[in-house]
Amino acid sequence: MPISLVTPLAAGDAADRAARLMGQELSRLLSTVVTVVNRPGAGGSLGTQSVVRAPKDGYTLLYAQNSPLTIRRVIEPEAANYDPLKDLVPLALTTRSPSVLVVHKDAPFKTLKEMVEHASRNPNSVRVGNAGPGSVGDISVQQINSAAGTTLTSVNYKGAAPAITDLLGGHIEGVILALGAVSTHMRSGNLRALAISSPFPEFPTVPTLRQLGYKADILGVWFGFFMPAGVPKAVVDKVVTALEDVTRNTSISAQLLPAGIVQEWGSGRALSDEISNEFRAVSELLRPSAKATK
């Protein structure tokens, strides 16, 4: 019987490619067909909900990013009305895609410190685009404002591409997006990186907020594998063993690095901790907004 690997992402982007590469290797290791099923919508909540409701037989997997598992549960609790630690079984943390704050090469500020100082002198003058309301970029702007006491304006777009177009056109001052969306422009020198959510081998000099003296980093994008709660432990253990082999596969890692994606093995416990810690941090940051939605 084939395994459905549900991902709440549109087909064709870098994370979808990661799902397909890992799905192919899972097929080999588990000796069964693994079919990627794209179910985007509602910030990832639709695809996640479909797995929560799936049969508890081990033939449905979820490969999901943090947005539907942490952020959406804070800002849209009616839509993301599930608990990933109770309604799902966290199997493994496998993938990270750092977020990066970039500005135009001709921006008047060369560092994050200079951007913060410019924004402090000129309130609401620094506009930072993101991929949409509640995206890691949107939340990260608010993190910087909270940490630095400044007034960066978060500008929501329908995806990364229009945000990048406006930045290159000089209509906004910066963007916070997944590294893979802007890395080509960073390599060409058209965009300059001021901060990154976690270190990345190709851009070792780009600092994190913690390295710059702040108490918290901007949010990155991480992905993990899940099953519906109630799947027999023997089935869970078999899939977890295969996932560790997939995540440590150097061939897959080499194919994903140019797209700004890092393979990183973490146990189910590590994934649970990541969810709990990020949900708590986002809840504290957005507490007034979160109360307003209830």
Distance of CA 163 to the CA centre of its chain: 17
Residue 291: pLDDT above 60? no
Residue 132: pLDDT above 90? no
Q: What digits encode the pLDDT tens for the residues 40-76?
A: 988 889 999 999 999 999 999 999 999 999 999 999 9
Q: Which of 18, 56, 57 is nearest to 38 (CA)?
A: 18
Q: Which of 263, 127, 74, 112 is nearest to 192 (CA)?
A: 112
CA torsion, ordered 136, 138, 141, 147, to nearest 10 deg = -60
Alpha carbon distance, N-terminus to C-terminus of the chain: 42
Q: Which of 216, 186, 224, 222 is nearest to 285 (CA)?
A: 216
Distance CA 294, CA 288 (A): 10
Q: Please give the pLDDT value at position 133.
A: 86
Q: What digits encode the pLDDT tens for the residues 166-220?
A: 999 999 999 999 998 999 999 999 999 999 999 999 999 999 999 999 988 999 9
Backbone angles phi, psi at 292, to 5 degrees: -65, -25
Run of H or E including 6: strand 3-7
* DSSP one-letter string for 237-276: HHHHHHHHHHHT-HHHHHHHGGGT-EEEEE-HHHHHHHHH
Q: What digits encode the pLDDT tens for the residues 258-282?
A: 989 999 999 999 999 999 999 999 9
Kindly indicate the confidence band of residue 292, based on its pLDDT and cuts at 50, 70 and 90.
very low
Q: Please give the pLDDT value at position 288.
A: 53
What number of helices (H) and strands (E) belong to the chain?
Answer: 12, 11
Q: Under DSSP, is residue 86 helix (H, G, I), strand (E, B) or coil?
A: coil
Are the C-beta atoms of residues 129 and 157 closer than 8 Å to each other?
yes
Distance of CA 110 to the CA centre of its chain: 26
Distance CA 119, CA 153 (A): 9
Q: Measured between alpha carbons, how far is residue 110 from residues 173, 193, 210, 262, 280 in Å?
A: 12, 9, 18, 27, 32
Distance CA 201, CA 227 (A): 31
